[in-house]
Amino acid sequence: MSSSDVILIVDNVTKRFGGLVANSRVSFQLKRGEILGLIGPNGAGKTTLFNVITGVYKPDEGKVIFKGEDITGKPPHEITRKGIAKTHQIVKPFNDMTVLENAMVGALFGKRARQVAMEEAREIAMDSLKLVGLDAFSDEFAAKLNLHQKKMLELARALSAEPDLLLLDEVLAGLNPKEIEESLEIIRKVKDERNLSVIMIEHVMHAVMNISDRIVVLHYGRKIAEGIPEEIANNPEVITAYLGEPELALKFVKRRVTK
């Protein structure tokens, strides 16, 4: 891929916590407008890698390049203002604030922090709520939402930050099959309408196989595979480390191809 097509470069990133190596020389590139699935067993280092990208952790080795700029180790608020937004694995709404006010937080502290007036932040937030199907709940307190709605509120808050790159950390976890399908459609829609690049950590395998353009697999902090979903599902090392039975992996691929 040409450099103009690339929005993010993760270059040999290593992150240690004492004697534990959470990420070991992880490298990959993300194209503009691409959805990249990031998978692996629990403890594989996926969320740690997100935290390195967003500045929560500074890597011990390696670099993170975003839109041609080295952002390695910059504080999270600076990285947010450069155009990266993240949802949390465990939903964290401000329960004593309304749904609209929660989404406005993204606009007020996002890419154009200190440049957005309250009325504009309200408009940005309402547009994001409409995209995720929560505009009818804008005046409700966030505490009243169910799990699926709270996850969509997390997404709306991230979208209100006006990112170029959206990091989704297990946005489908705990949802029933109908909610998963609805969420996938919303993710596709927001990616297209906002012209976003997306990296998605997910354990719901048929979902990540269905929506991803490419997939990166981590195991014990090390990248063991990268490719299109069909390649990943047929990779012997991935099957052994994560997917389990080869027949199950192939079933996920068939569901993706025939959808």
**Tokens in use for 12?**
């040999």
Residue 50 backbone phi and psi in degrees, to 5: -55, -45
pLDDT in tens, 121-153: 999 999 999 999 999 999 999 999 999 999 999
CA–CA distance, 186 with 84 (Å, rounded to integer): 19
Task: Yes or no: say if 213 and 228 are a contact pair by the CB < 8 Å rule.
Answer: yes
* DSSP-based three-state secondary structure for 28: strand
Q: What is the mean pLDDT of residues 47-61?
A: 97
Rounded to the nearest integer, the mean pLDDT of the chain is: 92
Q: Label residue 3 by pLDDT band (50, 70, 90).
A: low
Quick one: pLDDT at residue 233?
86
Contact 90, 39 (CB under 8 A): no
Q: Which domains does the chain have, with CATH numbers?
A: 34-56+74-258 (3.40.50.300)
Whole-prediction pTM: 0.90
Predicted local confidence at residue 251, as pLDDT: 60
pLDDT digits (tens, 9 = 90+) for 179-205: 999 999 999 999 999 999 999 999 888
pLDDT (0 to 100) of residue 241: 77
Q: How far apart are CA 23 and CA 52, in angstroms?
A: 10
Residues 154, 199: Cα–Cα separation, whole Å:
15
Give the separation between CA 9 and CA 3, rounded to whole angstroms: 10
Give pLDDT tens digits for 70-129. Answer: 999 999 999 999 999 999 888 989 999 999 999 999 999 999 988 999 999 999 999 999
Collect all residues with Cβ–Cβ distance below 8 Å to 208 and sequence separation of at least 6: 37, 39, 200, 202, 215, 229
Place of tokens 């996850």: 151
